[in-house]
Every structure is written in C-alpha cells, then in structure tokens.
Amino acid sequence: MAVRIQNIKVICTAPEGINLVVIKVETNQPGLYGLGCGTFAYRHLAVKLVVEEYLRPLLTGRNAEDIEELWQLMHQNGYWRNGPIENNAISGVDMALWDIKGKLANMPVYQLFGGKCREGIPVYRHADGRDLEELCHNIEKFREMGITNIRCQCGGYGGGSYGNTPGTAPAGALPGVYLDSGKYIRDTVKLFEGIRSKLGYGINLVHDVHERIAPSEAVKLARELEPFDLLFLEDPVSIEQTDWLRRLRRQSSIPIAEGELFNNPAEWKRLIAEQLIDYIRVHISQIGGITPARKLQIFAEQFGVRTAWHGPGDMSPLAHAANIHIDLAAPNFGVQEWSGIEPPNFVIQELKGPRGALLEVFPGLLEFRDGYVYANEKPGLGVDLNEKEAAKYPCENTVTMWTQTRRRDGSLQTP
C-alpha cells in the first residue's frame, strides 16, 4: 500500500521567544507522520501561508516516498523559484518527508545517506563579552565543556547596538544599529591579539564579520587577522559582493566561510568550483531542506570545500538534527555551528538560561557531550513535537529591529 500524504499542518511556536515554524506531514498510515523545519523567524506567517494555501493542496494524495519528485514539484510549481519564504516552506515539507522515509526504513536519516563517517560532530559555540577579560572567561567556560572551536565577538556583530543616531549622522537620520567600521576593524584585530596572548593557540578561533563592512575593508581585516591563525573568517562580504572574494583570496591566506544568506545554487556554484571559499555554511532550510543540502555537500566535496552549516537559535531542533545527520555522513564535513540546544545541565548559566521549554516542546533533542553532538539513533530525524506544549508559546509578529543596520552617515548597511 502506497504511503500517501493525507494532510500538512503548520505549527508556529516560540518556546525561547524566537519564532519557529514546524511542518507536520501526516500520512494515510496510522501513526506515521514526519516533522520538518521551515523557520523564517522574521516572516513566519508568510511561510505558514505558502504551506497551507499552496503546498498542502499541491501535495495531498501524493506518494510521500517520492521525495525527489515532490521537491522538484514544489520548487517549480510557483514558476518563479528560490527565495527565503518559498524555500523555507519547501524545506519544512522536505525534512518531514525524510523523517517519514527514515521511520519507514526503521533507520536514522544518516543511514539513508550511506552511514557514518564519524561517530560525533565537533561544534563551535559563540563567546561574547564586554571586554577581553569577560570574553576570555566565557571562552574558558566553553573549554571546560570540551569545546575547542569558538567564535569570538565583542559587543555584537560590527560592534554596534540599536539606538538613536550618533553624532556623526546628519540631522534627522533614522535610528538603527550604527556601525563604525574603522573602529570595529581596529578593535577586532586587537581583540584576537589579546585572546592569543592570554589563551595561546590550543583553541580554534572563528570570527563573524556578518557582512557589516565594505568589501575593501574585509580584505584589510582578513590580512590583519592572519597572524592569529583563525579556523575561518565568516561572511566577510555580502552575497551581492562575492566577486570580491577573488581579490581577498589573492591578498590573504585566511580561510573563508561564506553562505549564511544563500538561497540559490547560482550563488555558490562559482565560489566552490573556483575554490574561492574554504567552508560552505548555508542555512539548510533557506535553500530548501535536506534534499538540496545533501546535493550541495556532495558538490562541495569534489572541490575540497568543507561544510560548516549555519546553526543559530532561530532554527528549530529539527533543523539542527538535519544538520547533524548530513554531517555524520559527509566526508567533507568541517565543523558545525551549535546554538546550544543541549539539555539544561550542560548549559553555562552565565551565557544562557535553562532550556526547559524547548525540551518540553521538542522531545528527543540531540545529545551534546564533551564538545561533540551525537544523533539519538531513533528512526528518522529522531526529534518529535509536543503540539500541546508548543501551543503554550505563541509566536509574535513584530517589526525586526536588529537588521536595521546603518553606516555612520545614517545610510543603510547590510546586516
């Protein structure tokens, strides 16, 4: 008997105050369903609408086992292709179909990719601080957890915080996150010099530019950070300015990670084929789910480019699980960003509060232990959803503020 899609539900929940979008694909087999992540935290209602009004009518009654056919159908059915709203909607369904496939096979999803290349996944975490002393203290806390890959910032991306216009902006300039790129570059170089001086070279350091400076400034920053032996410099330029990576490559040996905002294969094919980046770090729901992410991972492998998938707090545990399942089977895995969805006893209280609500909403979280994350070996993605608990934490539809980044003269800068 064919396994057919009977219904597709969208569950929006915010157990930690961050909007999450979960897609549930129900089948004609009693008790058989799949879960996937379609989280676009800042446009969650748009994703919900696409799934409920367009994908559900399109897919109901179709064979849930035909993942490739259904992905291509969803991808081309609206004629115009790609973009964060549609891709996240497709991702939620796609992950749910892989979850179903694993449950049908009675295997974790990574087994469907050929099995493990490694037993656990090394992760990197984010350390911040008001100054060098506080930052180094927080780095040491992570090292006590066995984490040896740490992303370091001081005062947020680009060193700015939301507020009114600074004295440099003209009268009438709008409020926003005002950035001083020159000061940010000087402070960042000094920061990494201080970290290496205090803590040595026994840890792998990462820094995220978050595309908040001009491309020529990114080249300057990369060159000045070279002595401090970074694992990689993350998103030094915006997706609109990736041609600058060729110039950066010529002028600096620092490893580059790029791709958090990528939607479309046209944005990464040339960068990988010309080996202009060392790590590809897409947000896998942003590109359409497990199906395209697995293809991207295999493509990158042919050119010696490693994976470092985006793993922030504004994605559900289902998406974190999808990252880990691909990582386990990927020969070209590099490192995994990890926002800290481990159970409360592993959480550093100075950095994050307990994650009890997340555990109640998403039973079966992956296991973090001594710097590594492990799949829980349940069939499918291994993470479930308690819909009753999820309903206790409704999403909020508010104006996003942190992306309103500005240069010193008040003009907008990519966030």
**C-alpha triplet 218, 221, 225: angle, nearest 5°:** 140
At residue 169, what are phi and psi to the nearest 5 degrees? -80, 155
Per DSSP, what are the bridge partners of residue 178? Answer: 406
Q: How far apart are CA 338 and CA 404, in angstroms?
A: 25
CB 293 within 8 A of CB 287: yes
CB 23 within 8 A of CB 74: no
Rg of the chain on CA atoms, in Å: 21
- Say how many Å lie between the first and final Cα of the chain, rounded: 50
The full 3-state SS of the chain, as one line of letters, equals: CCCEEEEEEEEEECCCCCCEEEEEEEECCCCCEEEEECCCCCCHHHHHHHHHHHHHHHHCCCECCCHHHHHHHHHHHCCCCCCHHHHHHHHHHHHHHHHHHHHHHCCEHHHHCCCCCCCCEEEEEEECCCCHHHHHHHHHHHHHCCCCEEEECCCCHHHCCEECCCCCCCCCCCCEEECCHHHHHHHHHHHHHHHHHHHCCCCEEEEECCCCCCHHHHHHHHHHHHHHCCCEEECCCCHHHCCHHHHHHHHCCCCEEECCCCCCHHHHHHHHHCCCCCEECCCCCCCCCHHHHHHHHHHHHCCCCEECCCCCCCCCHHHHHHHHHHHHHCCCECCEECCCCCCHHHCCCCCCCCCHHHHHHCCCCCEEECCEEECCCCCECCCCCCHHHHCCCCCCCCCCCCCCEECCCCCECCC
Catalytic residues: 157, 210
CB 288 within 8 A of CB 85: no
